[in-house]
């Protein structure tokens, strides 16, 4: 098995006719993902390399059975694109778009969570999700991934790639790799994904990649301590980051004594989670624990 996406994924790309949407949508299709439709208002009846374009997500779902969407639209339209997919019955929404206004995401995430119908939103400002050997939705390079039993959840796109590569180099494959993004208001947090990995019979260990800012890692540590039976290995980026300076992501900022890498590593360690000092050490710990 895998989480979020797999062999039953039917993908619609919102913004498939754009440069980035077309490039990555076709890469996902080349990987083996079932790309069934694109959506660009006003371009219904056109196609991109044989993939039909629809005016709305609802039309795409009705005609193709799409159950997963990838959002590649300009930031000012990002929240509405996510809401359109949710209202069309899409089960998994993966928003790659960055710079969506925080207030837009606040109302969007609240709407999706309070509906309670099981819709999963990943992102925005994320690299996407890959279940190696099954499906790839986003911009994670499939070439560095291998099928296997280790799940990965990360706030950082680049560190996702590096740790996945480190694991693959050691012959350790991945069940699903999830980039949740580093924005202050993500569609899914660490706990949402950890719950799914805990329930996945084909995931026997999880690597968690956090970074400075917020308290998501501390809350994840409590969840692991109280709810998880599978081992978790972690890495926190930003050990040398100065307070008050944003590092990369909008959510990666230390405020006073809160959100520091040291505080996060301490909380993770107290929960019994081994923390690597760098991506290579994370892979080494995973290899050690797997025997």
Q: Which domain, by its residues, includes 33?
A: 10-122
Same-domain status, 114 and 150: no
pLDDT of residue 8: 98
pLDDT in tens, 90-139: 999 999 999 999 999 999 999 999 998 899 999 999 999 999 999 999 99
Same-domain status, 157 and 112: no
Same-domain status, 115 and 24: yes
Same-domain status, 145 and 238: yes
Within a domain: residue 5?
Answer: no
Same-domain status, 253 and 220: yes
Q: What is the pTM of this model?
A: 0.93
Same-domain status, 84 and 150: no
Catalytic residue check, 249: yes
- Number of structural domains found in the chain: 2
pLDDT in tens, 215-230: 899 999 999 999 999 9
The encoded tokens of residue 186 equal 């993500």
CATH code of the domain covering residue 240: 3.40.50.261
The distance in angstroms from the start CA to the end CA of the chain is 23
Within a domain: residue 3?
Answer: no
- Chain-wide mean pLDDT for the chain? 92
Of residues 249, 264, 275, 283, which has the active-site annotation? Answer: 249
């Amino acid at each position: 098995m895998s989480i979020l996406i797999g062999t039953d994924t039917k993908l619609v790309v919102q913004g498939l006719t754009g440069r980035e949407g077309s490039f990555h949508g076709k890469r996902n299709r080349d990987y083996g993902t079932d790309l069934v439709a694109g959506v660009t208002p006003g371009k219904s009846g056109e196609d991109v390399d044989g993939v039909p374009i629809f005016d709305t997500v609802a039309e795409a779902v009705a005609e193709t059975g799409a159950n997963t969407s990838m959002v590649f639209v300009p930031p000012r339209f990002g929240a509405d694109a996510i809401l359109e997919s949710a209202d069309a019955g899409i089960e998994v929404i993966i928003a790659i778009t960055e710079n969506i206004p925080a207030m837009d995401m606040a109302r969007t995430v609240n709407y999706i969570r309070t509906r309670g119908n099981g819709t999963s939103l990943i992102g925005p400002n994320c690299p996407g999700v890959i279940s190696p050997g099954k499906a790839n939705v986003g911009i994670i390079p499939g070439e560095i991934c291998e099928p296997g039993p280790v799940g990965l959840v990360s706030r950082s796109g680049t560190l996702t790639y590096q740790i996945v590569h480190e694991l693959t180099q050691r012959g350790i494959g991945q069940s699903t790799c999830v980039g949740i993004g580093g924005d202050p208001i993500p569609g899914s947090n660490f706990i949402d994904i950890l719950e799914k990995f805990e329930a996945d019979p084909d995931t026997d260990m999880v690597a968690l990649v956090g970074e400075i800012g917020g308290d998501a890692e501390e809350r994840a540590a409590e969840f692991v301590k109280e709810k998880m039976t599978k081992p978790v290995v972690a890495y926190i980026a930003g050990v040398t980051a100065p307070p008050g300076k944003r590092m990369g992501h909008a959510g990666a900022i230390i405020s006073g004594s809160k959100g520091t890498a040291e505080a996060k590593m301490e909380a993770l360690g107290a929960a019994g989670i081994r923390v690597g000092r760098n991506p290579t050490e994370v892979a080494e710990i995973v290899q050690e624990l797997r025997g």
